[in-house]
Amino acid sequence: MSNSVKIALVGCGNIAQAHWAGIRGEAPHIAVTAVVDTHAEMLAAMAAKTGAAPFSSLDDALAEADCDAVDIMLPHYLHEEAAIKAFAAGKHVLLEKPMAPTLDACDRILAAAKRAGTVFMVAEQSHYWPDALKVRAMIRAGAIGEVITARAYFGGTPDAFDGPKPWRYQRAKAGGGICMDGGAHWIRPLRMWLGEIDEVVAVVGHPLAEMENESFARALLRFESGVVAVFDALHAGDFIGPGEEFRVTGTRGELVIEKGAHGNLIRYDRAHPGGEVIQSKHPGRGAPSFGYELHDFSLAVLEGKTLAAGPEYSLGELRTALAIYRSAETRQWEKVWD
């Protein structure tokens, strides 16, 4: 059995840079043998950076590249076509989230994966964040008693752009806005800690004029356990100050993950009313977390290891986003899994 997975990076944009950095740092069993992009300059730059063979189309790469797997990092509306082509070619597939913008498209991708019988993973790096995993372990160990409520906040100031509107700002290409895209990384930890989401009630807004989908959302998430959490997301404004990304409140204390590059995971309880730093400076965030997920993928291919989260699990974030959109229209609670 080979000790490495030969992989083609499909899409050479910003996310590919993070995947490449993660591979170099944390995924020793992955060898990047091909890179694919329709943009000639980006393709050439990525080929030079990785030393991999360049291909201007996925069809050519699937037919000619020396690869066992593909890492698909394309705009959301291209996920279905690319994944199904890769499965038809017998490749293992790592697909950036969301699996696809619609549930029907997800069903078709899952059916293609089943026919292929190869490893299929939907990339969600927050499932590998060390602070998210530590919070899960502490909750399970009863470190803050029974969970009463929680809050997740995802926000940032948008980057300026000079040229065509970014694909993430286009409804036809992205399928959804901040909830479906970056917000998924904050919904996943809530699900890891609190279980499955049953229903949501939400409002959305469009403060960023250039973005066709929502750039603001505020939602209540009711979990199957009965716990209610707050999910806030914002992609607008000139400045967003310090604060927290997550807060989980229990009967015997709280866990807080601070926002920002120097944020800490802190426990507050009777023994530590001023706060006890459990982890500092978001260890393992950024490129390392991409590497952790790619390493998990490689072990599934090479050793048959069960993935930390199977592809069907990723439907929870997509379904939550879609329920938020429905609730914003109906102004009432909407079920996530119906």
- Which pLDDT tens digits describe the chain residue by residue (338 residues)? 579 999 999 999 999 999 999 999 999 999 999 999 999 999 999 999 999 999 999 999 999 999 999 999 999 999 999 999 999 999 999 999 999 999 999 999 999 999 999 999 999 999 999 999 999 999 999 999 999 999 999 998 888 887 889 999 999 999 999 999 999 999 999 999 999 999 999 999 999 999 999 999 999 999 999 999 999 999 998 877 888 999 999 999 999 999 987 789 999 999 999 999 999 988 889 899 999 999 999 999 999 999 999 999 999 999 999 999 999 999 999 999 98
User: What pTM was estimated for this model as a whole?
Assistant: 0.96
Residue the block writes with tokens 């549930």:
103
Classify residue 187 by its DSSP letter. Answer: H
Quick one: pLDDT at residue 154? 94
321 contact partners, CB below 8 Å, separation of at least 6: 98, 176, 179, 180, 183, 184, 187
Burial class (CB in 10 A: 0-12, 13-18, 19+), 150: buried
Note whether 225 and 168 are within 8 A (CB).
no
Quick one: pLDDT at residue 238? 83
Tokens of 116: 């292929």
Burial class (CB in 10 A: 0-12, 13-18, 19+), 13: middle
Quick one: pLDDT at residue 163? 82
Quick one: pLDDT at residue 162? 77
Q: How many CA atoms lie within 13 A of 285 on its CB side?
A: 18
Give the Å distances, CA to CA, from 293 to 110, 227, 300: 19, 29, 11
